[in-house]
Amino acid sequence: MTRALFIAAPASGQGKTLITAALAWHHRQAGQRVRVFKTGPDFLDPMILSEASGHPAINLDLFMMGKEACRQQVAEAAQDADLILVEGVMGLFDGTPSSADLAALLGLPVLMIMDASAMAQTFGALALGLSNYDTRLDFVGVLANRVGSPRHARLLASSLPDSLTWWGSISRDPALTLPERHLGLVQAAELPDLEARLAHAALALPETLRCFDELPSMTFPPPTPSAPPEPWLDGLRIAIARDHAFSFLYPANLALLRTLGAQLSFFSPLQGDRLPPCDALWLPGGYPELHLKSLAAQAHCMTAIRHHHEAGKPILAECGGMTYLTQRLISKEGAQADLVGLIPGTATVQPRLAGLGLQTLQTPQGELRGHTFHYSRLETTLPPTTHARNAQQEEGEAVYCKNGLTATYLHSYFPSNPRAAAQFFLGNAL
């Protein structure tokens, strides 16, 4: 038997991640086995949630994964978890599919987090409207965030109808936040005080924790065994960049590569690590634009990548990994560096979002699903081989192929089509 809770909000920026992480941290400190999931394709929130729970936080995305895979992930977690937390994405009903669709599919009770900093009794009206909007959902309570005073909290609590339970409040406190930059939260590995922040947030939740203790346990169906995919990458050595500049890696993607038989090794272009002996190279997304000087200083690493490409060995470069391969990368502030140079042209970080959304890529092995989220724009003379498509079947991100290199802003979710994903590392993706 496992307790479970879906943590949602009426909009982004309400404090879902900090509260989810604080709850995970508290129960982990109490000796419970905690598993946390993040709705949607986000890379950054799961880093925080992983640190809080002491276990990799897995993405649940109905578009990229499908219903059955989402159910399976939660069923597997329930086999050895005392507590399952699922953090929603954006507003509860935003997007197609939405957080509400996932909560309904999984049958999880919903806790609504609401930023109450600029309202009083209207808080109750909004909470009532949200709770009545979709009859599939089971609302267990409402938690007020960024509350100004005890009196403010009493006004908010008194505004709730009897059908909604008050799960307490959190005061407006700069220490009860997580720092952000473009793309989202600052990476967990860059927050030396993360545990102190989580401990402080957990101490601010006494009412919430008392309500939490009253959550009934749930029974989840056992996971259904599935046949593993063929070992298309048996013995293939894949080197993967992983550091503060290249960190956008789904645990499910890494797990799939191992299931396909690949041998994974990791290196840091930022630290100037030598490229490990490998048959294929993966440069994932991240923040190379924040580390231009350090990346440019590691000339021997960039030379090794060029030699790898000249030898005709496969490279997959996603988003930030692709901008690292350009001739020049320019930050939002105007700093610039000459980098690997395998892709002719310049990538420039813009002040506004340049690409966002779920997309699909048609390959000879079928449809591969993923998402895009970036602030930079690429100007290149290299013609695209193909384009991904968005949900409206409009032209999406370009995909560039050159001598075994596949480069694109698209972040692919490999389990959506294991055979297609394998081709990135065999040199014949498209």
Which residues are 34's β-sheet partners? Answer: 83
Reference 83, options 8, 16, 9, 6; nearest CA is 6
In the chain the domains, ranked by start, together with CATH numbers, are 3-212 (3.40.50.300), 237-424 (3.40.50.880)
Alpha carbon distances (Å) from 259 to 232, 235, 422: 9, 11, 11
CA distance 372 to 417: 17
In this structure, the dihedral spanned by the alpha carbons of residues 15, 244, 323 and 43, taken in order and rounded to 10 degrees, is -30
Cβ(246)–Cβ(301) below 8 Å:
no
Reference 17, options 81, 73, 89, 84; nearest CA is 89
Reference 244, options 294, 280, 198, 194; nearest CA is 294
Reference 200, options 44, 5, 34, 21; nearest CA is 21
pLDDT at 119: 94
The two beta strands, 83-87 and 3-8, are: parallel
* Catalytic machinery residues: 319
Full-model pTM:
0.95
pLDDT at 225: 82
Which residues are 405's β-sheet partners? Answer: 315, 402
Cβ(169)–Cβ(123) below 8 Å:
no
**First and final CA of the chain: distance in angstroms?**
46
Helices (H), 134-250: 150-159, 194-203, 206-212
pLDDT at 85: 98
pLDDT in tens, the chain (430 residues): 799 999 999 999 999 999 999 999 999 999 999 999 999 999 999 999 999 999 999 999 999 999 999 999 999 999 999 999 999 999 999 999 999 999 999 999 999 999 999 999 999 999 999 999 999 999 999 999 999 999 999 999 999 999 999 999 999 988 888 988 877 888 998 899 999 999 999 999 999 999 988 899 999 988 888 888 999 999 999 999 999 999 999 999 999 999 999 999 999 999 999 999 999 999 999 999 999 999 999 999 999 999 999 999 999 999 999 999 999 999 999 999 999 999 999 999 999 999 999 999 999 999 999 999 999 999 999 999 999 999 888 999 999 999 999 999 999 999 999 999 999 999 887 8
